[in-house]
Amino acid sequence: MSDLPNCPKCSSEYTYEDGNLLICPECAHEWSANETEEDDALVVKDSNGNLLQDGDTITVIKDLKVKGSSAVVKVGTKVKNIRLVEGDHDIDCKITGIGPMKLKSIFVKKA
């Protein structure tokens, strides 16, 4: 029996060593044996390079058209209690008067 840890992405028990790396054959995730889960933390920065975190308040720096409607998120709109997600649009939030939205971090700054 192997005493290698399970894959941190898919929890597969079939991990194997390849030099200094551990590899999961099921999802192809590679990681260092010394790597902790904190290294995989999502890093999202605003337009000024400030690090964003869940629960932050941000300000929109450009008029943003809402796809599929005539609504516009105006410059200076403050958005409270954001949530960071993976993907192209990396901020999940609710904007007063518009509703739930996903925003790109390049169009916001930390308030």
Q: Which pair of tokens denotes residue 86?
A: 């993976």
pLDDT at 47 over 90: yes
pLDDT band at 5 (very low <50, low <70, confident <90, very high): confident
Cα–Cα distance measured from residue 15 to residue 34, given in angstroms and rounded to the nearest whole number: 15
Q: Which pair of tokens denotes residue 89?
A: 């649009």
pLDDT at 37 over 70: no
Global pTM value: 0.64
Question: Which H or E run includes 52?
Answer: strand 51-52
Sign of CA dihedral 28, 30, 36, 40: negative
Taking every pair of C-alpha atoms in the chain, what is the biggest distance, in angstroms?
A: 61
Q: Calculate Rg over the CA atoms of the chain.
A: 19
